[in-house]
Structure 1
Amino acid sequence: MAKGSADDYAEETSILTKISKDYIEDHVYISYVPPPLIRGKGVLARSEYEEWVGRINEIQEDLVWLLELPYHKFWSQFAFDGRVTALLNSYIQNTPRPYELEEFNECLESEIALSTKEAQDRVHALVLCVYIRLASFNEVKESKRLLTASEFGSLIYDKFIFDIPTICDICLIYGSENHLEVSHIVNTVFGQQPMYLNDLNEAVICATKSLKEIMQKSRDLDVSDSALLKGVVCMTPLLDIVNYLIDVVFSVSALLEFYSSACNMLVKYRYVSLLGDIYYNTVPLLYSHAGEISLLVQSGRVDSGKHSKVSRKLRILREEMLKTLNLIVAYFVSESLKFKSENNEDGVKRCIGNFLDVWYDCLPFDTFVRDYNKLYGAQKDFIVLKEVNSSEIESDKISFIMESILSHEILEKKSRHFPQPKNEVEILGAVGDVTEENIENNRVTRISDLELQCRISSVSDILPDVDVDVIRNYLSTMDYSTEKVIDAILKDSIAGIPLDEKKPMESEESYVNQRINVFDGDEFDVMTNDHIDMTRVNLGKKKEKYKDFKELIDDKSHRVEMADMYNRLGVVSEIDTVNGGVDTYDDEYDDTYDDTDVTSRKTFVTPRVLREVVLDSSEDSESEDSEGTSECGLKSNLNFVANPAEIREKMEQKRQAMRGAKAPVVEKDVIGKPKGTGQDQATVINRQRKNANKAGRANHQRKNRSLKKQQQGMF
């Protein structure tokens, strides 16, 4: 028996060479639907329960059957039968999220509801087991493995077994209770298939666009008085907007917990800036819409349960947005510490740059920054980065952001947003639900900014002397009624607010005291000086002191002005009074040989050039020609510069001599006889010589000269 089993196993493993359609088994799969108590109001009919339990039992059997399949049949089923993937997607998309579990558990009061939860939990665990097996392609030994790492990556990507929305949903649904298993799934998928990174980049772009669109829809939501009176407004659009925001924010936050490298993509597309904008503008607007719609709750035209859902989900949304910011900030801090331990300065600089970009995007939204600082404490992250950072410029930026965050805590700004919590525990519950107790006052306290500004402007147009802040206080006291405020101010009586707070008219004196100019307080300031020296004031065109440049140069009056200064400093030498008041000092006199008698050592001899020429006729008689020659020779030695005319004459003679030495030019015949009669040998030789030497004359080197000019840049 054992031998037969071994042979059957060997035969089976020998044919497992690849995944094939032959291994698919025809099986019917049923899609998952939420429990009836989630779809309704918590009232569960017996027929609905039996129908849903029958469906959930069949799904449970299908999942158990899948998990019991052999390795090759399991993967063949997912590779070639898309209905299996559709079954898993139906559960992932429709099962309650963690932020809906509170509502789900509130409905579990009867025995039927408790049984529903048990069936839900069984399917919940089986779906996770299927995804774990899908992420474990190496569950068999290496010799029997059908899929390599590259084949596994191609299979799960091409067959859409895993995609970015599915990964986000797995992280969101199973991450809180099954951290290790979900981390294994995410790391395997992104590690074996890099193409998912491109899909993640596109998913981030899609998420940012979706958030921008939902922000615009929240602004366009009509909750005006006319719409409320007509009964047009209902809670469904508002609840849809809140659900959409929660779904996007929670999905991104859940993914960051298991794949923190996605923070780089979020910083690239300024996802944090969108979160701050939603937290600062959209969430207060949604609270305001909920307050306006609460009037319909009292009249019974809107379900009070839906109204309470909006307030509760808005608090959950605020908490998750702050958590997302904390995950992003913590990632860059931990990465900078990691790069610092590896002595990777470029990595440290890049992480600090991204960290600062995140906070630069958050700083405009003071409510967002203030709530984050109260809940998580931003200062500790900046202290860590200051220790890691080695750049002075980055240190200055870190200090600037720290001071900006602290300033949000110190400065109490008047804001239209929801009230701020008093302590760390109260931060996520600062904005309470609109209950029946404050419905009467809700309309007054929920007035919009635009309407408030319009009412302030209408009062200011009639009473421009009253300060804007005083008008705002009057309006809040008088139920935002402009008629009552104007009447009370005109009668100089208003309850609880002194009228001396009115803003006085600015007098001329106060205007002068507030002037700020570089010339304030000088000698020509007519606003502060009663008497001004008019002699220093030039009226009309200013007359020039000198007519031209020559007159300016000839003016030596500055010497007289500087004489006293030189006399005091003793710079000018005293005049020699020994020689009759004449200073005999000469800077060019050379006194080197004043102490030596030069004439005693050597007699003075007149240079020959300066001597007069004297001919001694008493010497031996010589011929007149010789005398003439010596005389001319003596005179020629005295000619330091030659006569230019003689030089020109000599050069001309030299040129004539050179011309005469050349051989006569012989005309060579290159024309020859007429064509067709033949040419003699001399003509042929002359033509060849002319053709070979024609480049040396005339203009036969145009091409070579042109190329030379082009090479020298002369074109």
Structure 2
Amino acid sequence: VAARQEQVITMPALPLDELQLTERDPKTGKLRTLPALHPEIKADRSFVLYRPPPVVRDPALVEEFLERAKFIADDLNWLLALPHDKFWCQVIFDETLQKCLDSYLSNAPRKFDTLLDCHPGVSDMQRCLHRSVFLTFLRMSTHKESKDHFITPSVFGEIIYNNFLFDIPKILDLCVLFGKGNGLLLQKMIENIFTQQPSYFSDLDETLPTVLQVFNNILHKCGLQCEGASAEPQRLEERVNVTPGNMPLQELKDVVLYLCDTCTTIWAFLDVFPPACQTFQKHEFCYRLASFYELAIPELESAIKRRHYEDNSVFADLWRRISHSRKKMIEAFHILINRVCLQPILESRYWHLGCVEPASYLIVIVVEIVSSLPISWRK
């Protein structure tokens, strides 16, 4: 008798958004069926808001920071240990979690926020918390953890968008805070967010005029004339003789800090997610950036060098920030030119057909920039 071979047929796993759970109603004791993603499945847990490390080694402030940061880190580690379904219920339906994560993105120290006389325990705890926050966002940006634990891509895109788990300001902050040392992971993370939810491209397009307005605000603050169609006429009473050289020191510090933060953010985002370059260039970003650089950077550098300082550390900090701003503006410009103009030329399959559109676009950008420069620069 021929041995019969039994074939085991395994049913494919359902995505989390299609799963149904059967459980007893805690109120009636009767069986009920709920979607796997349901607010009643969320655990009752309250995440606290993040506060940045103290700038001085005050024992009371240090203790307060360590206690709060450990509380957040422990809660995030608990969250990360949850199974797939419970993790997503917590992420979607726990408002305190989202407020906690938002507070970290807004208030976590940036590159130049050096902590004076920082307690070693504070640095260690900040690094630990930094890692936990990054891993949380990384898991939130992943629609498929394994063949058995995944969310339908289109539904995943709706979940992260409609529940504001990610938005353009958050994505920009993520690039600034986590780009160093996590470049490849962050790149895959941002790519997946934009791939599964293309609406983020539209949001970026709507956000860029606000980003460009930052440059106009700085020029206005420094008494410098805006260039091009974006220039706004000044009322007579606003035409005061303010320059970087004669503005109060605190205003100069605010301008430089504002500029440094903006330039670092733009560069970090483009460095992590070059496909955004096309959206940037729809707003003539190369020309606007070059025009701003030529108007503002020499004036600010001159003002910083000529000013008298009672504390040399103030000069050192301002010079470090303006130098970093200049560097990041140039690097962002290089990324834009390479992605929008040079790369299409080098990779074009239609060389032999005389495909010249990217080359022509590059020429247009160069002509626009050169024509905006003062005559002394063209000699």
**TM surpasses 0.5:** yes
- The structural deviation recorded for 1:185 is 0.7
Q: Contact 1:171–1:182 at 8 Å: present in 2 too?
A: yes
Pick one of 281, 286, 306 that aligns with 1:272.
286
Q: Is the 8 A contact 1:235 1:306 kept in 2?
A: no
**Residue 25 (structure 2) aligns with:** none
Deviation for aligned residue 1:360: 2.4
Find the counterpart in structure 2 of residue 65 from structure 1. Answer: 78
Q: Are the counterparts in 2 of residues 56 and 123 from structure 1 also a CA contact under 8 Å? A: yes
1:363-374 correspondence to structure 2 within 5 Å: 363-364=370-371
1:238 aligns with 2:252: yes
Of the three residues 88, 99, 109, the one matched with 1:86 is 99
| SS of equivalent to 1:269 | coil
What is the alpha-carbon distance in structure 2 between the residues aligned to residue 67 and residue 205 of structure 1? Answer: 37
Give the Å deviation of 1:96.
Answer: 2.0
Residues 224 and 343 of structure 1, relative CA distance in 2, 3 Å threshold: closer
2-side partners of 1:221 and 1:276: how far apart? 24
> 1:36 — aligned with what?
54
CA distance in 2, matches of 1:205, 1:253: 17
Matched, 1:324 2:328: no
Task: Give the C-alpha shift of residue 177 in structure 1.
Answer: 0.7
Alignment of 1:99-498 (within 5 A): 100=112, 103-104=114-115, 107=116, 113-142=119-148, 145=150, 147-219=151-223, 222=242, 234-291=248-305, 294-295=307-308, 297=309, 300=310, 303-331=311-339, 332-340=341-349, 348-364=355-371
Contact kept? 2:178, 2:186, Cα under 8 Å: yes
Identify the residue that residue 683 of structure 1 maps to in structure 2: none
Distance 2:121 2:222 in 1: 40
Quote how far apart the aligned CAs of 1:283 are. 1.7
RCO higher in structure (CA 8 A, sep ≥6): 2
Pair 159,224 (structure 1): closer, same or farther in 2 beyond 3 Å:
closer
Distance 1:357 1:125 in 2: 44
May I ask how many residue pairs the two structures share in their alignment?
Answer: 333
Aligned to 1:53: 66
Separation (CA, whole Å) in 1 of partners of 2:296 and 2:202: 30
Letter in 2 for 1:272: C
Counterparts in 2 of 1:14 and 1:278: CA distance versus 1, 3 Å: closer
Identity of aligned residues (%): 26
Distance 2:331 2:199 in 1: 28
Distance 1:338 1:17, change over 3 A: farther
Q: Call closer, same or farther: CA 1:318–1:223 in 2, change over 3 Å.
A: closer
Per the TM alignment, residue 192 of structure 1 is displaced from its structure 2 partner at its CA by 0.3
1:423-480 CA deviation, whole Å, 9 max, x = no partner? xxxxxxxxxxxxxxxxxxxxxxxxxxxxxxxxxxxxxxxxxxxxxxxxxxxxxxxxxx
Shift, 1:236, TM fit:
1.8
Which string of whole-angstrom CA distances, capped at 9 and with x for unpartnered residues, describes residues 133-156 of structure 1?
Answer: 0111211434x54x2111100010
Q: CA deviation at 1:245?
A: 1.4
The 1:95/1:364 distance shift into structure 2, 3 A limit, reads farther
User: Cα–Cα, structure 1 residues 244 and 150, in superposed 2: closer, same or farther, change >3 Å?
Assistant: same
Letter of the aligned partner of 2:180 in structure 1? S
Give the 3-state SS of the residue equivalent to 1:261 in structure 2. Answer: helix
Paired letter, 2:143: F
Equivalent position of 1:566 in the other structure: none
Structure 1 window deviating more from structure 2 (313-322 vs 240-249): it is 240-249
- 1:17 shift after superposition: 4.1
Q: Distance in 1 between matches of 2:152 and 2:43?
A: 24
Residue matched to 2:39: 21
Give yes or no for contact 1:270–1:361 (8 Å, CA) kept in 2.
Answer: no
Change (3 A) 1:339 1:20: same
**1:221–1:76 distance in 2 versus 1, CA, 3 Å:** farther
Gap runs ≥5 in structure 1: 1-11, 38-42, 368-403, 414-715
1:167: how far off? Answer: 1.1
Deviates more, 1:355-364 or 1:317-326: 355-364
Distance 2:292 2:140 in 1: 37
CA shift for structure 1 position 291: 4.7
Deviation at 1:78, TM superposition (A): 1.7
The answer to whether the 8 Å contact 2:175/2:269 transfers is: yes
Question: Matched residues in 2 for 1:260 and 1:330: separation?
Answer: 10
Contact 1:32/1:94 (8 A) holds in 2: yes
Residue 204 (structure 1) shift: 1.4
Partner Cα distance (2:220, 2:318) in 1: 18
- State the match for 1:518 in structure 2: none
- Cα shift at 1:270: 1.7
Whole-Å separation in 2 of the counterparts to 1:169 and 1:287 = 27
CA shift at 1:195, angstroms?
Answer: 0.5
Compared CA separation, residues 335 and 286, structure 1 to 2 (3 A): same
Change over 3 Å in CA distance of 1:184–1:323 after alignment to 2: same
CA distance in 2, matches of 1:363, 1:126: 47
**1:273 positional shift:** 2.1
Cα drift, residue 57 of structure 1: 0.7
- The superposition leaves residues 147-191 of structure 1 with CA deviations (integer Å, 9 ceiling, x where unpaired) of 211110001001111111111121222122111110111110000
1:267–1:358 Cα contact (<8 Å) kept: no
Separation in 2 of the partners of 1:161 and 1:354? 37
CA distance in 1, matches of 2:241, 2:264: 23
What is the CA-CA distance between 1:305 and the residue it aligns to? 3.1
1:575 match: none
Does the C-alpha gap of structure 1 residues 159 and 215 become closer, same or farther in structure 2, counting only changes over 3 Å?
A: same
* Aligned equivalents of 2:213, 2:128: Cα separation in 1: 37
Check the 8 A contact 1:276/1:365 in 2, yes or no: no
Structure 2 regions of 5+ residues with no counterpart?
1-15, 22-33, 224-239
From the superposition, tell whether residues 68 and 286 of structure 1 become closer, same or farther in structure 2 (CA, over 3 Å): same
- Write the letter of the residue equivalent to 1:70: P
1:353 offset after TM fit, Å?
3.0
Larger mean Cα displacement after TM superposition, 89-98 or 122-131: 89-98
Could you tell me how far apart the structure 2 residues matched to 1:136 and 1:33 are?
Answer: 27
Change in 2 beyond 3 A, CA 1:14/1:321: closer
Q: State the Cα distance separating 1:210 from its structure 2 match.
A: 2.1
Corresponding letter in the other structure for 2:220: Q
Change (3 A) 1:263 1:322: same
The DSSP-based 3-state class of the residue aligned with 1:262 is helix
Is the contact between residue 244 and residue 252 of structure 2 (CA under 8 Å) also seen in structure 1? no
Secondary structure at 1:363's aligned position in 2?
A: helix
Counterparts of 2:146 and 2:244 in 1: how far apart (Å)?
65
Are 2:244 and 2:300, in contact at CA under 8 Å, matched by a contact in 1? no
Q: 1:243 and 1:364 mapped to 2: Cα distance? A: 30
Report the Cα distance in structure 1 between the residues aligned to 2:352 and 2:185, rounded to whole angstroms. 32
